[in-house]
Chain A
Amino acid sequence: MLPKALIAASLKPIMLSLLAERDMYGYEITQRVQTLSEGKIRWAASKLYPVLHDLENRGLVASFWQPSESGPARKYYRLTVKGQGALEKTKQDWLDLNQILVKLWGPDLSLAPSM
C-alpha cells in the first residue's frame, strides 16, 4: 500500500485519466485502479464517490444511469470537455513534479515521460 497522503493527492489525476479511457461506473473504477496499481492503491467507496461527485459539481465529469443485466441500473461517469482540459493541466503539473524529482535523484531513476 502507498502512503495515504500520496493516494489522496493522486486520486483526481488517476480518476480523470481513467475516465479519459472510457466511461466507467464507480465500482469498475476501484477494480481498475486496484489491478493497475497491483494492489498498491485501494479506494474505499466512501472516499471515491464524494470525489466523483465533487468533480461532477465542478463540471469536470458528467454522469448518467444505464440499465444493467446483472441487477439494478449503474451510474456511469464520463469526462467532459472541461474535464479534458483539467486533465491536461494536471498531467503537466505531475510531469513537472516528476522532472524535479528526477533532477534530484539522478537520471537512473527517470520515469521517462511517455509524451
Chain B
Amino acid sequence: MFNLEKALASWRRQFKHRRAFLAEDLDELERHLRDHIADLVAEGLEEKAAFRQAARALGASWEAEAEYRKVYWGKLSRKHRRLDEFLWRLVMRKNYLKIALRNLRRQKTYAFINVFGLAVGLATCLLIGAFIRHEASFDRFHPTADRVYRVYKTPQPTSMLGLTQALEDRFPEIEHATLVSRPWQQLLAREGESFFLEDVVYADSQFLDVFPFPLLRGNPREVLAGPGQMVLTRSTAHRFFGDEDPIGKTFMVENREEYTVVGVMEDVPSNAHFRFTALFSLDGRARQQRYNSAVQWNRFVGSYLYVLLDEHTRPEALETKIRAFEAEERKALPALSQEPQLRLQPLTSIHLHATDLTQDIAPQSDTRYLYLFSAIGLLILLIACVNYMNLATARSAERAKEVGVRKVIGAYRSQLINQFLSESMLLALLAVPLALALAYVALPLIAPLMERPLSLHLFEDGLLLAALGGGVVLIGLLAGSYPALFLSRFHPVRVLSSHGRSMGRGGLMLRRLLVIFQFTVAMVLFVATAVMIFQLDYIQNKRLGFDQEHVVSFSIPGALKESYETFKQELLRQPAVAEATSGAPPGIGWATAWTDMPADDGEEEWPLTLIEGDYSYLETLGIKLVAGRAFEPERSTDAEEAIILSEAAARRFNLPEDPTGQRVSFMWFDDVEVIGVVEDIHNTSLHEALVPMAIGLRAGANPRMLVRLRAGMMQDGLADVASVWQHFVPDRPFQFKFLNDQIGAQYQAEQKLMRLFTLFSGLAIFVACLGLFGLASFTAEARTKEIGIRKALGASVSSIITLLSTTFIKLVLVAFVVAAPLAYFAMQQWLQDFVYRIEISWPIFLMAGLAALGIALLTVSYQAVRAALANPVKALRYE
C-alpha cells in the first residue's frame, strides 16, 4: 500500500542532503507539496498518483538547490547566523586539516613515501615542462616571427643560385629576402695572432630586416650593405676587445679578405634555430649566389633563403605562385625534373618539424621526443599517485572507525569524500616545495643531458605557478578520488562492530593491479634502456673495417701542400707517432666521389663510393688486405692504373674468387687493374647499409691528414704533432679531432636518449619501489601477530621472509610478463633506425627482469627481514 507519510519523508531526505536548504525551507516546501496533493486528490486522483504529480511539479532537488543557493547567504545574514555557518565550515575544515596532519605525523614513513614520491614525479614533470617550453619557444622572440618563412626544398633545405634575387624581383609580397650561409668556423687573424671563430654567419644587408636582432652599436639600415663588414655579438666583442670600442677594428678572414667591425648586437638567444657569434657581409662568390637575377635551377648553394612577407599575404597563396613560377621555368630545362620543389616553411616550425630534412642550417629537434618525454613525465607522476592510492586504501582499516563515527554523528558521504580529497591535496601541496627544491637542484645536472640551457623562474612565471596550482588539484583528485570513494563507502555498523578489522582487505585486487601497472611502466623503461645500452655498445665495438682508436685527424691547409712531404717525415720522426697518412677519414661519411653503378641485366643499380689516400693509407688505418697488395711507390703504374676494392665491391663487380689482376671501369677509372681486396669498410654510420668501396691512390697531400699515435702516449703525441704544425704553419692554430670521437658523434642523438632513459627509468623504478616499500611495511605490520605465532610454533626466519615477499615478487613477475612484449615492440621500432642492430634476445629481458626483481626483492625483504627477526614475545604481548 502507498503510504503518503513515508513517501513524503523519503522525498524530504533527498533535499536534506543538499546544503542550500534550511530546515524551515524544507517545512515550507513539504507543506506546499501536501497542499498540492490535497487539491489533486480532491480532483479525484489516487493518492499515489497525486504525490508523483505534485512532486514532479515542485521540481527536482538539484534544480531547487541552484535557486536556493542564490539566496542562502542572504537568509543566514538576515537571521544573524552567517557567522555560525562560516565558523562551522571553518571548524570542519580545521578539523579535516587537524586529522590529516595528525595522520601524517603518526605515519611518518607513509607521509614520506607519498610526499617524496609525488615530489619526484612533480619535479620530473617540471623539468620536462621546462624543456618542452624551451623547445616550443624557438624563434618566437622575433617581432616578425609570424611573417618569416624559409623557402626550402627537401631533403636539403638549401637554396639555388640566383633564387633570392629572382623571388624578390618577381613577388612584391616579399618585403625582404635574405640568403644566409653558415660555415662552421672561419680563420680570423688580427695583430699577428690567428684563431678560429666558430658559428659565423654570412648574410646580406637584409638579414637584420628579416631577423630584427637589436643592435647595440651601428645602424641596422647600413651594416652589412657593402663587402668586408662584420657585426659581432656582445660576447664576441667582449672576447676580443674587452671594454674597448670594437667599431672600426679589422680582422683578416681566411687570410684572404679584410673585414671591419661596423656593429655590435645582442647575443643570439639559445632558442634561435641557428646561432652565431658574428655576422659577415657576403664575399664575392656568395654575392653572385645572392644577387644573380636569373635562377640556375640545377646549381644548389649551401645557403638558406628566408623571406619576410608583408602583413596581408597568405603564405599558401604565395607558395602556389612560387611553385607556378618554378614549374614555368623548369619547362625550358627538359633535362631537369619538371616537378616544382620549392615550399614555404614558417620560421616558428623550423625547429620542431625538420625531421625529413638533412644538412639543415643547424641541428634541429623532433616533436616525437617532446611527446615521448611528456608521456614519461606523466607516467612517473602517475606511479607516484598510485603509491598514494595503494597506501591510503591499504591502511583503510585505521580510518574505518573514524569514517564510522563521522557517519553516525551525521556526516554525509559527500562531506567525507570532501575530507579525503582535501587530505590528498594537502599531501600534493606539501610535495610542491620539495619538488621545486629537487627541480632546482637537478636543473644544472639535467640541462647538459637535454643540451638546453633550461631555467625555472618561479615567481616571474605565471604559467609555472598556474601549472603548479593545477598540478596540486589534479594530483589531489587523481590520487585521492579512489581512496575517497572507497573510504567514504564504509557502512558505519559494519566498521564499528568487531568485523571492522577485515576492512583492510578491501580493494586488494585493485591494489595488486595498480602495483602491476607501476612495475610494467618501470620495466618497459628499464628494458628500453637496456636495449639502448646494448645497441650503442654494439655499434661502438663493431669493427668498421679499420682501427679507429688513437687516430688524430686534421685538415691540411693550402699553405702546407708544398712542404707536405717534409712535414710528414718530420711527424714520423716523433717517438709518439706510429703512422701517418693523408687521405679520406673513414667512417664519417666522407668520400672522394660516389656514384650509382649501372645495373647488369635483371639487377638493381648499386652504389659505389671512392675514397683516396696516399701510400701509407691502409697501414695507418689498419685496413686489412684479404687478397693482393697495397699501393707501392716503386710501381709507377699504381698511380694511374691500379685500384683496391672492398670485398663487397669485388662481389658486385662479379669478379672471380681471386680478383687481383682483373680489370674494372667506373667513374673516371677506365679499365684499371684490381691490385688488392680489403675487408669491408663501414664508411657511413651504422644507421645505413654497407656500401661497396673502392680505394684509389693519391700520393702527396690529400685534404686531410690522419696520424696514428702510439697507445699510451696520446698526450705526448698530440704535443709533438702540434709543435711540428707550429713550425710549418705558424699563422694557423692547430686544430684536430680524434677519429673515434667523430665516428661516435654520429650517434649523439641516441647517446642523449640513452642517458635520459637511464635517468627516467631509474626514477620510475625508484618511485615504484617507494610504494612497494610502503605496502610491504604495511603488510608486515598488519601480520605482526601472525608472524609471532608462526615463529613461536617454530617457523624459520627464511620461511617467514618467503611468506612476506612471495606476493610482491609474483606481482613484479606479472608486470614483467606484461612489460616484455610492450618493450619488445617499442624497441624493435627504435632499432629499425639502424641497419646494423642487435637482436633483442631473451638474455636482455632476463637481465632487465632480474635487475628489476632484485631491486623489488631488496625493497620488500628489508621489511620482511625486520618482521621475521622481531622477537615473537613482543609481537604477541602487544595487547
List chain A positions with a Cβ less than 8 A from chain B: 25-28, 31, 44-47, 49-50, 53-54, 56-58, 70-75
**CB <8 Å contact, B31 and A44:** no
Q: Would A27 and B36 be within 8 Å (CB), given that A46-B58, A50-B68, A73-B31 are in contact? A: yes
Task: Across the interface, name the chain B residue whose C-beta is closest to A59.
Answer: B78
**CB <8 Å contact, B27 and A46:** no
**CB <8 Å contact, A56 and B58:** no
A35 to chain B, nearest CB (A): 12
**CB <8 Å contact, B31 and A75:** yes
Binding stretch for chain A, among B59-67, B203-211, B697-705:
B59-67
B-side contacts of A45, CB under 8 Å:
29, 32-33, 57-59, 64
B-side contacts of A58, CB under 8 Å:
74
- Of the candidates B59, B63, B70, B71, the one having the most CB atoms from chain A within 10 angstroms of its own CB is B71
**CB <8 Å contact, B28 and A46:** no
**CB <8 Å contact, A72 and B78:** no
Q: Would A27 and B35 be within 8 Å (CB), given that A46-B59, A50-B67, A72-B27 are in contact? A: yes
**CB <8 Å contact, A71 and B57:** no
A49 to chain B, nearest CB (A): 6
A-side contacts of B24, CB under 8 Å:
75
Q: Mark B792-824, 1 if CB is under 8 A from A, else 0.
A: 000000000000000000000000000000000
Q: Does chain A have a CB within 8 A of B759?
A: no
Q: Does chain A have a CB within 8 A of B407?
A: no
A-side contacts of B32, CB under 8 Å:
26-27, 45, 49
**CB <8 Å contact, A27 and B31:** yes
A42 to chain B, nearest CB (A): 8
A-side contacts of B64, CB under 8 Å:
45-46, 49-50
A45 to chain B, nearest CB (A): 4
B-side contacts of A75, CB under 8 Å:
24, 27-28, 31
A-side contacts of B63, CB under 8 Å:
46
**CB <8 Å contact, B38 and A70:** yes
**CB <8 Å contact, B75 and A25:** no
Q: Would A53 and B36 be within 8 Å (CB), given that A45-B59, A46-B59 are in contact? A: no
Closest 4 CB pairs of A and B: A46-B59, A46-B64, A57-B74, A50-B67
Task: Across the interface, name the chain B residue whose C-beta is closest to A25.
Answer: B31
Q: Does chain A have a CB within 8 A of B173?
A: no
Complex CA distance for A97 and B29, rounded to whole angstroms: 35
B33 to chain A, nearest CB (A): 8
Given contacts A46-B59, A56-B75, A70-B38, 10 further A-B contacts (CB under 8 A): A45-B57, A45-B64, A49-B64, A50-B67, A53-B74, A56-B78, A57-B71, A57-B74, A72-B34, A73-B27
Complex CA distance for A46 and B64, rounded to whole angstroms: 5
Chain B interface SS verdict (over half): helix
**CB <8 Å contact, A49 and B59:** no
Give the contacting residue for B58; candidates A28, A44, A72; CB below 8 A: A44
Task: Across the interface, name the chain B residue whose C-beta is closest to A57.
Answer: B74
A23 to chain B, nearest CB (A): 15
**CB <8 Å contact, A44 and B78:** no
Q: Does chain A have a CB within 8 A of B25?
A: yes
Task: Across the interface, name the chain A residue whose C-beta is closest to B36.
Answer: A27
**Chain B 721-762 residues near chain A, CB threshold 8 A:** none
- Of the candidates B24, B31, B64, B68, the one having the most CB atoms from chain A within 10 angstroms of its own CB is B31
Complex CA distance for A54 and B77, rounded to whole angstroms: 12
Would you mind naming 19 contact pairs between A and B with Cβ atoms under 8 Å apart?
Answer: A26-B28, A28-B35, A44-B59, A45-B57, A45-B59, A45-B64, A47-B59, A50-B70, A50-B71, A53-B68, A53-B75, A56-B75, A57-B71, A57-B75, A58-B74, A70-B35, A70-B38, A71-B35, A74-B35
Task: Across the interface, name the chain B residue whose C-beta is closest to A28.
Answer: B35
B-side contacts of A46, CB under 8 Å:
58-60, 63-64, 67-68
A8 to chain B, nearest CB (A): 11
B-side contacts of A44, CB under 8 Å:
57-59
A-side contacts of B31, CB under 8 Å:
25, 27, 71-75
Q: What total of A-B pairs shows CB separation below 8 Å?
A: 75
B52 to chain A, nearest CB (A): 15
A72 to chain B, nearest CB (A): 6
B-side contacts of A53, CB under 8 Å:
25, 68, 71, 74-75
B752 to chain A, nearest CB (A): 63
Task: Across the interface, name the chain B residue whose C-beta is closest to A42.
Answer: B57
- Of the candidates B32, B58, B60, the one having the most CB atoms from chain A within 10 angstroms of its own CB is B32
Complex CA distance for A56 and B75, rounded to whole angstroms: 8
Complex CA distance for A57 and B81, rounded to whole angstroms: 13
Q: Does chain A have a CB within 8 A of B30?
A: yes
Complex CA distance for A27 and B32, rounded to whole angstroms: 5
Chain A interface SS verdict (over half): helix
Task: Across the interface, name the chain A residue whose C-beta is closest to B74.
Answer: A57
Complex CA distance for A72 and B64, rounded to whole angstroms: 22
B263 to chain A, nearest CB (A): 67
Complex CA distance for A71 and B41, rounded to whole angstroms: 15
B67 to chain A, nearest CB (A): 4
A-side contacts of B68, CB under 8 Å:
46, 49-50, 53
Q: Mark B237-279, 1 if CB is under 8 A from A, else 0.
A: 0000000000000000000000000000000000000000000
Q: Would A49 and B74 be within 8 Å (CB), given that A27-B36, A44-B57 are in contact? A: no
Complex CA distance for A31 and B54, rounded to whole angstroms: 13
A-side contacts of B35, CB under 8 Å:
27-28, 70-71, 74
**CB <8 Å contact, A54 and B71:** yes
- Of the candidates A27, A58, A74, the one having the most CB atoms from chain B within 10 angstroms of its own CB is A27
A-side contacts of B27, CB under 8 Å:
72-73, 75
Complex CA distance for A57 and B35, rounded to whole angstroms: 25
A-side contacts of B60, CB under 8 Å:
46
Complex CA distance for A34 and B99, rounded to whole angstroms: 54
B41 to chain A, nearest CB (A): 12
A-side contacts of B58, CB under 8 Å:
44-46
Complex CA distance for A47 and B57, rounded to whole angstroms: 11
A81 to chain B, nearest CB (A): 17
Complex CA distance for A28 and B59, rounded to whole angstroms: 17
**CB <8 Å contact, B78 and A54:** no
Complex CA distance for A25 and B34, rounded to whole angstroms: 13
Complex CA distance for A28 and B34, rounded to whole angstroms: 12
Give the contacting residue for B25; candidates A49, A57, A71; CB below 8 A: A49
A-side contacts of B38, CB under 8 Å:
70-71
A84 to chain B, nearest CB (A): 19
**CB <8 Å contact, A57 and B28:** no
A7 to chain B, nearest CB (A): 14
B-side contacts of A27, CB under 8 Å:
31-32, 35-36
A-side contacts of B77, CB under 8 Å:
57
Complex CA distance for A102 and B875, rounded to whole angstroms: 93
B-side contacts of A72, CB under 8 Å:
27, 30-31, 34
B-side contacts of A25, CB under 8 Å:
31
B-side contacts of A70, CB under 8 Å:
34-35, 38
A-side contacts of B74, CB under 8 Å:
53-54, 57-58
B-side contacts of A57, CB under 8 Å:
71, 74-75, 77-78
- Of the candidates A28, A49, A56, A74, the one having the most CB atoms from chain B within 10 angstroms of its own CB is A49
Complex CA distance for A28 and B63, rounded to whole angstroms: 22
B-side contacts of A28, CB under 8 Å:
35
Complex CA distance for A26 and B31, rounded to whole angstroms: 9
Task: Across the interface, name the chain A residue whose C-beta is closest to B68.
Answer: A50
- Of the candidates B30, B35, B58, the one having the most CB atoms from chain A within 10 angstroms of its own CB is B35
Complex CA distance for A101 and B378, rounded to whole angstroms: 63
A10 to chain B, nearest CB (A): 17
Task: Across the interface, name the chain B residue whose C-beta is closest to A58.
Answer: B74
Complex CA distance for A96 and B740, rounded to whole angstroms: 94
A32 to chain B, nearest CB (A): 13
Complex CA distance for A63 and B824, rounded to whole angstroms: 76
A75 to chain B, nearest CB (A): 5
Complex CA distance for A52 and B34, rounded to whole angstroms: 19
Task: Across the interface, name the chain A residue whose C-beta is closest to B58.
Answer: A45
A-side contacts of B70, CB under 8 Å:
50, 54
A-side contacts of B28, CB under 8 Å:
26, 49, 75
B80 to chain A, nearest CB (A): 13
A-side contacts of B29, CB under 8 Å:
45, 49
